[in-house]
Amino acid sequence: MQFEMVAIGKVVGGRDEIRDDDWGASRAAIALDPAQVDNDALAGLAAFSHAEIVFVFDRVPHDRIERGARHPRNRADWPLVGILAQRGKNRPNRIGVTVCRIVAVDGLTLEVEGLDAIDGTPVLDIKPVMREFLPRGEVRQPAWSSELMAGYW
């Protein structure tokens, strides 16, 4: 099956280089494309504290896409795990998803904090974070993922 997606906007500002850590203080804007959404597409979003941003890791070359298992961040001391059991950018469809704090909404511009995407990244979708969509019950994860994420935000 194939699907065609069109970006509804792009990341403006924030980082302009790919780095693995220290995304927590990163502040960027998402500029929506008026050819893809109406002027009131963000109406009401400012009432939420957070938004989930769906974007494309567009700078990952096709020959770097992983389809099986690898060591996260190529660290042999971490276990070999499938690409779908980690959040690395070299995914088969190169789709990224991040929950960000909403800083401001102005027309077709959304300013966010904590978006782990770089300047110019295509944005596919924006969704408000509602507590009813958050995990119910305990969230568990392996020790290597906690170690990996220690400096991420």
72: domain CATH number is 2.40.30.70
Confidence class of residue 16 from pLDDT cuts 50, 70 and 90?
confident
61: in domain: yes
Confidence class of residue 24 from pLDDT cuts 50, 70 and 90?
low
pTM score, whole prediction: 0.92
2: in domain: no
Confidence class of residue 152 from pLDDT cuts 50, 70 and 90?
confident
14: in domain: yes
Q: Are 26 and 114 in contact (CB under 8 A)?
A: yes
The per-residue pLDDT for range 56-104, each reduced to its tens digit, is: 999 999 999 999 999 998 999 999 999 999 998 999 999 999 999 999 9
Q: For 119-134, what is the mean pLDDT? A: 97
Backbone angles phi, psi at 62, to 5 degrees: -55, -35
151 sits in the region (left: phi over 0; alpha: psi -120 to 50; else beta) called alpha
135: in domain: no
Q: Where are the beta strands (DSSP E) in 44-120?
A: 50-56, 69-70, 81-82, 95-106, 109-113
34: in domain: yes
Q: What is the largest CA-CA distance in the chain?
A: 49
4: in domain: no
- What's the domain count of the chain? 1
1: in domain: no
Q: For 134-145, what is the mean pLDDT? A: 93
Measure the N-to-C terminal CA separation of the chain; round to a whole number of Å.
35
What domain range is 52 assigned to? 9-130+140-149
